[in-house]
Structure 1
Amino acid sequence: MTGAAPARVVVTGMGVVSSIALGVTEYLSALRAGRCGAAPVSLFDTSGFAHANGHQVADYDYAARLRRTDPAEWGRAALFAATAARMAVDDAHLSDRALQQRQGLVSIGTTDGGSHELDLLVAQEIAGGHDAMDGRLVRQVPAGGLSVAVARELGLTRVEAMTVATACSAGNHAIGDGLDALRSGEVEYALCGGADALCRRNFTGFYRLGLVAPDRCRPFDAERAGLLTGEGAGVLLLEEREAARARGARIHAEVLGYATNCDAYHQLTPNQAGIRRCMRLALDNARVDPADVDLISAHGTGTRTNDAVECGAIAEVFGGSPPPTVGLKGMLGHTMGAASALAGIASVLAIGHGFIPPTVNHGRTDPECAVDCVPNTAVAADPRVVQNNGFAFAGNNAVVVFGRDRRSGRDAA
C-alpha cells in the first residue's frame, strides 16, 4: 500500500445488552464461561411453531440505567441501543458534557428496527381495528429511532445520527462508518454498533425458510440444524488515538481497518468469492497480512450452507491452517443487526484479556468446516490481531480488523 498512514482509531468504551450479559464486565465473564442464552421465547406468541427457542434479553430496569430516556417513549431495540451507548460512555470515563462539546457520529446498525412494536400494532389491529392502534407504538416503529435514542440519552446535538440497515452485517458497517469519520477528521468521537429486538415477523421468516434450530445453535458442528434468533445491542466508543491518549483514556484496542462489499449474488445464499474478497480488502485496509491474524470471530450462523461457505472463503484467504475461528452465535443467538457489534466487543475483550472465547454446543466439527472452532471451553491465548466477520442476506459483507494498541506494552500487528 502507498501513501501516508491514516489517523489511528481506538476503542475506549464498550456497552453490551444481550441474553447472556448486561454490561461489559458481565459479558467478559459470560464469554469466558461459554454461557448459552437459549431459552423458550416469551416475548411474542409462539403457538403453532413446532419449536420456538431464542435468545431473549431478560427484563431489566431501563429507568435505573438511563438518565434522559423515558422508557415509555421508545421501542425495545432503541432502549437496547441507548442502554449500550450509556454503558460505553461510562466505560470510557467520559461525561455527557465532554461529548456534547465535541463533534461526533452516532451510527447504529439494525435488521428489524422497530419491528417488535410493529408486531404489537398488527396484533392490535387484528383485535380491534385501526382505531384501536396505539399512537405511541406507531412512533416507535421507524428504525431511525435507534440512533436518535442514543443521541437523546446522552444529550448530543453536535452529531450526525445514522441508522444502518444492512441486516446481519450492519454492526460492522456502523463501526466502519465511525472509523472512516475519525480517520478523515470529520468527528472527534463515534458511538457505533448495532441493536435489534426479537420480533415474530423475523422469527417466522427464518422458521419458514427452515433455518431455525429446534433447540440450540451449533456453529460448524456436523449436526448443526440452523440458527436461533436473538436480540440485544453492542456499542463501541471510538476516538482518535492521540486524542484518547491525551485525555488519559484507557485504550481497549485499536481498529486497524475494515472493508465492505456487496456481491449481490443471491437474496439468501452467501457467495464464497464475495466473502473472500471482503476479507482480503479488510486485511489490506488494516495493513495486516493473513499470517498476522491470531483469531477470527466468524459470522458462524449455524446453518448448513453459511458455515461451509464462510469456512471455504477463510481457507482461500488463510490457507490450510487458518487461525482459531469461533462462532459466538451459539452463546448469543443471531442478534441480527447487533451480531457483528457484539462479536466486535468480544474480539476486543479477547485482545485485552488474553483468551479465546469458545464455540459452544459443539459435538463434532463438520469436515466442510475445517477450522479450529475452540469447542465448548475458552482457552488462554495471546491474540494481538482479530478479524471480525459480518455477512448478510443479498451479499452485504463487512469485516473489521481489531488489534492491540502498539504502545500499550504489547505490540499489535
Structure 2
Amino acid sequence: MVESAAADSIELVDEDFYTDPHRYYDRWRARGPVHRVQLVSGSQVWVIVGYTEGRAALADPRLRKNAADLYELFRQRNVRTLSDSNAQTLAAHMLNSDPPEHTRLRKLVSRAFLPRRVATLRPRIEEITAALLDDMAAHDEIDLMQVFANPLPVTVICELLGVPFDERADFQEWTRILVSSGGTIEERAAATLGMSEYLRKLMVDKRAHPGDDLLSELVQPTPDGDRLDEQELVAMAFLLLVAGHETTVNLIGNGTHALLRNRPQWDALRADPTAIPAAIEEFLRHDGPVGWTTLRYTHEPVQIAGIDIPAGEFIYVALSAANRDPARFDSGATLDIAANATGHLAFGHGIHFCVGAPLARLEADIAFKSLLTRFPDLTLADPAFEPSWQHSLLIRGMSELPVRPHG
C-alpha cells in the first residue's frame, strides 16, 4: 500500500536538493502525498507534497505554530538549533502563533496591507521602478537580481516601515543567514544578535521620533487600547522586514528567469500587457519564492492521506511541490502564462495567508510591465546560464541573474 510505504520509510534529502527540489518531489509524489523526511541536518520531519493534502493542512487547527511550544519540542527531541533569548524573540511573531494571539497580532497590521491602501503606493513604486530601469539602460550587461529585483522591493518595504535604506546591507546579510538551511550555529547566533539589537534600537527611535510609517504606527496604542510589548514589536518588525522584501525579490527574479527561458511567452506578454496579472499568478505557481512553509507541529495525533502521525511531530507543507501537483494543475512543471493558476498556494492558505500578498502582487505587476516595455529585447547574458540557488528550504531564489538589457 502507498500509505504503509510512506509511513514506514524515510526519504533522505541531500545537498543537491536545493539545485533541483522537483526531482525529489516527483519521486515522493509517485509514492504518496505525505512522507517522513530526513533533512541534511539529520532532523526528521513530515513533508506534505500533495496539493489537496497541503491545502487542508494549512487550515488544520490541529497543526500548531506557537513558537514557545516549538522550542520546547526542539528541546525534547534534541534538535540542535539556536534557542537563546534573541532567537526566541525574533521567532515570536504572528506567523509563529495560534489563535487567539495570532488573531490579535494580525489585526494590528492587516489594515496597512488592505488592497485599497496598498493601491495608493502605485505612483511611488512606479517612480522607484523607473529610476532603477534608467540605471539599467546605461549598461550592456547587468545582474538583474542586484540592480532591479532586489532594490525595488527593499526600497518599498524600507519606506513603508520607516527603515533607513542605507542600512539594508546589514539586515539583508542577517536575513540571508537566518533563512538559510545551512550555516553554523555561531553564524546564526551572530546574525540573530545583529538583527535583534538593530530592531530594538530602531523601535526605541520610533517611540522617541515617530514618523509617517508603519513601525511608528505599531509603537502607538490602538483606539481600543491594545499595544505591542517590546518583544512583540521586535518580532513583528522582523517578520515585516524580512517577508516584505525577500519573497518579492525572488518572485521578480524567478519569474523573469522563467520568461527568458520561454521566449514565446515573453513575447506574448509584450504583445498583451493586460495578461501580466494572470502571468504573475503562474510565476507564483510554477516557481514561487517560498519553497516550504514555516514549521508546524501536531498538537494531537492526526491522519493525513491515510497515514497516522503522532502528536509532537514536525510538519512542513512543500508549497513548490503542491503547486506542481498534476492532480490539481494541468501545467505541472511547464510554465504556461495562459493557464489558470487560481488556487495556487504560494501565499499560503487559511489564517496564515500572507498579509502582504496585495503589496507583492502590485510590485510584481509594476516590475514586469515596466521591464517588458523598457527592455523588450532583454536576454540572458549566457544562454547556457544555470542558476545558483539559495540553500534554503524556506526561500526559493537565485543568487544572481546576469542579463543583457538591450539583447
- More helix as a share of residues: 2
- More strand as a share of residues: 1
Q: Tell which structure's C-alpha radius of gyration is larger.
A: 2
TM-score, normalised by the number of residues in structure 2 = 0.26
TM-score, normalised by the number of residues in structure 1 = 0.26
